[in-house]
Structure 1
Amino acid sequence: MSALHIALYVTGGIAAYKAAPLVRAFIKAGHSVRVVMTAHATEFITPLTMATLSQQPVALDNFAPPRPSEVSHIALADWTDVAIAYPATANFIAKIANGLADDMASTTWLATTAPRIVFPAMNGHMLHQAATERNLNQLGTDGVVVAPTGTGFLAEGYTGEGRLLEPAAAQDFVTYVMSRRQGRLQDVHVVITAGGTQEPIDPVRRLTNRSSGKMGYALAAAALQAGANVTLISTTGRQPPFGITYVPVTDVRQMQQALTARFAASDIVIMAAAVADWRPARVAQEKIKKQPGQETWQLDLVRNPDIIAGLGAQKTHQFLVGFAAETQDLIANAEKKLAAKHVDMLVANDVGKPGIGFGAEDNAVVLLQSGTAPQYLPKAPKTTIAAQVISAIAAARTPD
């Protein structure tokens, strides 16, 4: 997602303190943030805090001396790429749902034509009052995106609904909403696999590998930011960012079933998972015990289905991307796989090199396509590599 001008509206609820880490997260992600605070919000968190974090003056009221060349609330509204009310109290929601404009926050909100997102935060009794529900429905009708609330420990001292989404979840939600409006993969269905498959030996042992799934998850996030509809099939059990459909699997055959069920409807399939070539011929129902005097143990293995080769043989319109994790002769081995598996692109990486192998935060890969010179992506964080790979896929599918 490209850098945005974010207008963050902080209103007067106890959850206002969570706006501080959200501002910091947006700044770290490369966005510019300007904060608008209601008078009641300043009772919970100081404007100085928000100004320091955002590195911009805080807009507080309509009576601050304007710059001679601008009308302050209109200038801020025109600057805005996305307006976010976090937290949005019942009072602020009621005001903006009915078009009231009696302070800097509500006046600027009313003047904003950019996308707007509201993060409600209030006691569950207030949230489910007919008036609040009516106001939230009106905001939706007006084109304002209303984020979900969470359930958890409230300021009143008990657990209930209406809890403000945590800053990390709120950032994911904003990314999801804005990615629907930009990016080269809008409305494209992307299926990605991640993690190392796990083949059971007995109830306590399994055959697996060192793949952490970090690259697959980074690719899923990058595809989402490019506007795609993303399904992540993973063995890790780790939930992806908001907006990504998550399908948990464990072994190769489960992954194959999940892919087969979704392949016809997919436009891009990225096989980033480390898929086991072999599995035990028999799975013991009880833990296998070592016997007295036993020094060796023979484990019979059988071949697993070659998932990517099967997809390559049956693809019609799908753009199929494979991964090759090698420890020697990277390009030679990857080119063989590119031809044998009938993939449209192969992402090759040398997992034997320190700092870019399984579980590392960084990666360095080579992109291979038939009839095209290899494209080298030098060592960088996996999130950066993922964005470059998704960009290359988008360009290869629909060249300019």
Structure 2
Amino acid sequence: MKGPLTNKRIVLGVTGSIACYKALELASKLVQNGALVDTIMTKSSQEFLTPLAFKSLTHRDVVTNMYDINSQFAINHVGLAESADIIVIAPATANTIAKISNGMSDDSLTTTVLAAKCPIVIAPAMDGNMFDNPATQNNIATLISRGIFISGPEYGRLASGLIGNGRMTSPKNLVNIVTTTLGSNGDLSGKKILISAGGTAEPIDPVRFITNKSSGKMGYSLATAARDRGATVTLVSASNMLETPIGMQTKKVKTSSEMYDVISKEIIEMDAIIMAAAVSDWTPEKYSSSKYKKNGTENWSIDLIKTTDIIANISKPNLIKIGFAAESDNLIENGKSKIQSKSLDLIVANDILDKNNGFESDTNKVSIIHPNGDVEAIPTMPKYEIANEILDRMIPLFNKK
């Protein structure tokens, strides 16, 4: 499946910081996501790494000298700037940041940046005291005022042995930032979407609770895919197993009642809701503030009461509502029943007895059911791809509301 970075032209600027080894991982991840990566190495960065390392990963020539007659960019020094969809400078030294802030163009990288009209992401990497210096802070403020995105630096152990702000943003997070930046004009641009994820936990006593096997992976995949396509995403998560994704607002909850309260408040601003969370159908009628003891008892019972059906009780004019149906039998029949009773625009049904898909798995196989009874079977694929299949079918619904 075509991803958000497929065939995107990304200029990767690498400057002379010890953190430039991380740029190799970044280049590799961008290429793995389908991007065409053109690397520009400053003279000082070549003291740490060779151009061959980047060429081996990107399978493209590396620009090292603005006046190299053998370079494909020798005549047109702004060729990369004109063709780039985005420029990422990682790591960015204090020296390079100062040059860009002051409009200097004395090498291939600064010349490219000065000529660029595409988005620019800069990931500073330097000693903490250098980063905190007023001169550096003023330079960064200038870049931000020009619309350049500054990522980091992160807090941690630095090359000097000191602890502080100065570490380059991780390659994984930079890939997410690049994807989000390029997706800002995607087919969901301007849409506000609330997505729920994970399995709620209904407390019995201070140590016991009722929950389910949901990992939250499907909901997180939906949130990430929607973000990558330009949506403003609010993720309401009952999962603590997954890393909080960047580029979206995340609300953490535990119980079904907490999820209902948060969604009820957030839904006012939303254009769509995708209820991917596995919300408990039942909750203990009474919560014990002290731990239940065995005390020789052979049997133990608790009274359960129904929880609020969140998506059935959420409504606002023109709101698109997409639900999930996790079923062990009569998959399609139960899905069709729920799409009517809950007034949904789509429902995504999956078989919880399929051991290779669904809960806790990285893949899924679903049936997308429409209000008119039409059913589309989506074969097994990674959950991110399933998410995009669902979003593909959601987009036309905006024109019908």
Which residue of 18, 24, 29 maps to 2:22?
18
Question: Is the Cα contact below 8 Å between 2:73 and 2:79 reproduced in 1?
Answer: no
Cα distance in 2 between the residues matched to 1:278 and 1:43: 63
SS in 1 for 2:311: helix
Specify the alignment match of 2:40 in structure 1.
36
Deviates more, 1:383-392 or 1:370-379: 370-379
Q: Does 1:296 align with 2:302?
A: no
Q: Does 1:60 align with 2:61?
A: no
Specify the alignment match of 1:373 in structure 2.
374
Specify the alignment match of 1:113 in structure 2.
117
Cα distance in 2 between the residues matched to 1:279 and 1:40: 62
Q: Superposition pairs for residues 60-139 of structure 1, below 5 Å?
A: 60-66=64-70, 71-139=75-143
Q: Does 1:206 align with 2:209?
A: yes
Question: Is the Cα contact below 8 Å between 1:349 and 1:365 reproduced in 2?
Answer: yes
Cα distance in 1 between the residues matched to 2:207 and 2:71: 70
Aligned partner letter, 1:282: K
Q: Can you list the C-alpha shifts for 1:301-358, whole angstroms capped at 9, x where unaligned?
A: 11111111111xx331211111000111111000000000111111111111121121
User: Shift of the alpha carbon at 1:70?
Assistant: 6.7
Q: Superposition pairs for residues 317-396 of structure 1, below 5 Å?
A: 317-371=318-372, 373-396=374-397
Question: Is the Cα contact below 8 Å between 2:199 and 2:213 reproduced in 1?
Answer: yes
Q: Unpaired runs of 5+ in structure 2? A: none
How many aligned positions are there? 395
Aligned partner letter, 2:14: V
Q: Unpaired runs of 5+ in structure 1? A: none
Q: TM-score, normalised by structure 1?
A: 0.95
Determine what percentage of the aligned residue pairs are the same residue.
37
SS in 2 for 1:100: coil
User: Shift of the alpha carbon at 1:202?
Assistant: 1.1
Q: Superposition pairs for residues 171-320 of structure 1, below 5 Å?
A: 171-180=175-184, 182-237=185-240, 238-292=242-296, 294-311=297-314, 314-320=315-321
Cα distance in 2 between the residues matched to 1:289 and 1:164: 51
Q: Does 1:47 align with 2:48?
A: no
Deviates more, 1:368-377 or 1:158-167: 368-377
Change (3 A) 1:69 1:303: closer
Deviates more, 1:56-65 or 1:366-375: 366-375
Question: Is the Cα contact below 8 Å between 2:320 and 2:397 reproduced in 1?
Answer: no
Deviates more, 1:128-137 or 1:220-229: 128-137
Deviates more, 1:275-284 or 1:236-245: 236-245
SS in 2 for 1:241: coil
Aligned partner letter, 2:183: S
User: Shift of the alpha carbon at 1:398?
Assistant: 2.7
Cα distance in 2 between the residues matched to 1:248 and 1:376: 32
Question: Is the Cα contact below 8 Å between 1:234 and 1:246 reproduced in 2?
Answer: yes
SS in 1 for 2:234: strand
Taking only aligned residues, the RMSD between alpha carbons, in angstroms, comes to 1.6
Aligned partner letter, 2:365: A
Cα distance in 2 between the residues matched to 1:279 and 1:130: 55
User: Shift of the alpha carbon at 1:161?
Assistant: 1.2
Question: Is the Cα contact below 8 Å between 1:7 and 1:82 reproduced in 2?
Answer: yes
Cα distance in 2 between the residues matched to 1:68 and 1:39: 18
Cα distance in 2 between the residues matched to 1:61 and 1:68: 11
Change (3 A) 1:92 1:290: same
Question: Is the Cα contact below 8 Å between 1:193 and 1:233 reproduced in 2?
Answer: yes
Cα distance in 1 between the residues matched to 2:198 and 2:147: 38
Aligned partner letter, 1:208: T
Cα distance in 1 between the residues matched to 2:193 and 2:72: 50
User: Shift of the alpha carbon at 1:30?
Assistant: 1.1
Change (3 A) 1:51 1:69: closer
Aligned partner letter, 1:121: A
Change (3 A) 1:73 1:326: same
User: Shift of the alpha carbon at 1:69?
Assistant: 9.1
User: Shift of the alpha carbon at 1:84?
Assistant: 0.6
Which residue of 141, 147, 150 maps to 1:146?
150
Cα distance in 1 between the residues matched to 2:16 and 2:73: 31
Q: TM-score, normalised by structure 2?
A: 0.95
Deviates more, 1:229-238 or 1:216-225: 229-238
Question: Is the Cα contact below 8 Å between 1:118 and 1:144 reproduced in 2?
Answer: yes
